[in-house]
């Protein structure tokens, strides 16, 4: 005998039991988004001692023609003011060998700013943003526009250079990293 979930009907539509619903707040949304696997990228910006970056799952292509990227950065992060100041950023798509680096750029271990770059080889392409030499791919961008909404800046980048590497991609889902084959 199977047990059916409790449902109510309203105008012949099925409505899930309210016991399955979560509050519509930051914690509820975070819980829901844990079910969505996202590609892991390290967003880098700045030069010299004014370099910083962040690990994100919010980097995506806005369009391929013309080549444009979109990334969402929290205003309170150390990364957004540096992106705004220098007008550039790089989307470093990381692979399974970069889990420790992704944690560094996520702020785990307390590293900040330029200290997050330790333990990896970096170069630059066209914009001047730091590029991870062994990234699965690196998409170098100049800021085209930044849209301020709520706690974040939605940053649109004009792609000025692309570097393709090798290896698998790193994905983040339900609080843990997973590797996708190469």
pTM of the model: 0.85
Section 93-98 average pLDDT = 94
Note whether residue 33 is domain-resident. Answer: no
| Residue 85 within a domain | yes
Is position 129 within any domain? yes
27 assigned to some structural domain: no
The reported pLDDT for the residue numbered 8 is 54
Residue 125 lies in a domain: yes
In this predicted structure, which of 20-24, 69-73, 126-130, 178-182 has the lowest mean pLDDT?
A: 20-24
Show the domain range for 133: 39-180
Query: Which segment of 10-19, 158-167, 172-181 scores lowest on mean pLDDT?
Result: 10-19
**CATH code: domain of residue 159:** 2.30.110.10
Q: Is residue 12 part of a domain?
A: no
Res 21 pLDDT > 80: no
Decide if 23 is inside a domain. no
pLDDT at 35: 84
Whole-number pLDDT of residue 119:
94
pLDDT the model gives residue 31: 84
- Give domain status of residue 148, yes or no: yes
**For every residue of the chain, which 3-state class applies, written as one string?**
CCCCCCEEEECCEEEECHHHCCCCCHHHHHHHHCCCCEECEEEEEEECCEEEEEEECCCEEEEECCEEEEEEEECCCCHHHHHHHHCEEEEEECCHHHHHHHHHHCCCCCCCHHHHHCCCCEEECCCCCEEECCCCEEEEEEEEEEEEECCEEEEEEEEEEEEECCCCEEEEECCEEEEECC
- What is the predicted pLDDT for the residue at 69? 98
pLDDT of 115 strictly over 80: yes
Q: What is the pLDDT of residues 48-91, one digit of tens each?
A: 999 999 999 999 999 999 999 999 999 999 999 999 999 999 99
Domains contained in the chain, number? 1
């Amino acid at each position: 005998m199977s047990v059916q979930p409790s449902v109510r009907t309203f105008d012949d539509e099925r409505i899930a039991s309210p016991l399955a619903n979560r509050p519509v707040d930051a914690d509820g949304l975070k819980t829901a988004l844990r079910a969505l696997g996202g590609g892991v990228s390290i967003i880098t910006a700045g030069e010299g001692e004014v370099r910083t970056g962040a690990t994100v799952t919010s980097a995506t292509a806005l369009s391929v023609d013309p080549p444009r990227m979109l990334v969402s950065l929290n205003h309170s992060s150390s990364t957004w003011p540096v992106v705004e100041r220098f007008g550039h950023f790089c989307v470093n798509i990381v692979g399974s060998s970069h889990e420790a680096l992704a944690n560094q750029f996520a702020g785990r271990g307390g590293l900040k700013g330029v200290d997050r770059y330790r333990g990896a080889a970096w170069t630059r392409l066209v914009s001047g943003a730091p590029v991870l030499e062994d990234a699965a791919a690196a998409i170098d961008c100049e800021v085209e526009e930044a849209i301020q909404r709520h706690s974040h800046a939605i940053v649109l980048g004009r792609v000025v250079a692309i570097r393709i590497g090798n290896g698998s991609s790193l994905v983040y889902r339900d609080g843990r990293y997973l590797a996708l084959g190469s």
